[in-house]
Amino acid sequence: MLKFVIFASVFCLYYVSSVEAISGSTIANKADSHVGSTKWSYASSHDTGRNTNKCNIFVNDVMEEVGGSVPQRSWWRHSPIGAGEWGNPHSSYLSGDNCWRNVGSPSIGDVMGDGVHVAFYTGYRTTTSARSDKIVKNSWGFRSSGSGAASNNYAYWRYTC
């Protein structure tokens, strides 16, 4: 929005910007746009190198793509928090960041973790995350048994900035 102001015969022009929180649907849509990508696969050399899990890097990259941020483990280098922090409802990294809030149940765009894996909640009983081979949209976190079973303990984090 442009505003014009005149002070004692001096004409000034300035821009007033309004900042709105990034919506959950914006986050979920961006995460879903990567389904099928191998950029964050275990074998990919992206960011942390080959033969490393990259579910936390996927969360970091999506948040950066939408204009958000993820707490970093080190201030001097790129080091986004891992799945262990995302799965901890008392994470000092996330609790100490005013943009993240722990919530009791997920909404679209929230990040959920169990301490081993981390994903975006992108629909009813549906998550989008980095699997070993590619980005997938599936029922991780809501399955009846096994990895990603609903009986596991999950932490849900909402981005509020």
From residue 39, give the alpha-carbon distance in Å to each of 60, 78, 151: 13, 17, 30
Q: Convert the pLDDT of each residue in 7-27 to its tens digit.
A: 444 444 444 445 688 999 999
Q: Is 3 a member of any domain?
A: no
Q: Convert the pLDDT of each residue in 74-116 to its tens digit.
A: 888 889 999 999 999 999 999 999 999 999 999 999 999 999 9
The alpha helices in the chain, defined as continuous H runs, are 24-32, 55-65, 83-86, 92-95
Give the model's pLDDT for residue 17: 45
Q: How many domains does the chain have?
A: 1
Amino acid 18 reads S
Q: Is 13 a member of any domain?
A: no
> Which CATH number do you get for residue 122?
3.90.1720.10
Q: Is 9 a member of any domain?
A: no
Query: What domain range is 77 assigned to?
Result: 22-159
Q: Is 90 a member of any domain?
A: yes
Of 88-97, 129-138, 145-154, the least confident? 145-154
pTM for the full predicted model: 0.85
Q: How far apart are CA 144 and CA 80, in angstroms?
A: 30
Q: Is 36 a member of any domain?
A: yes
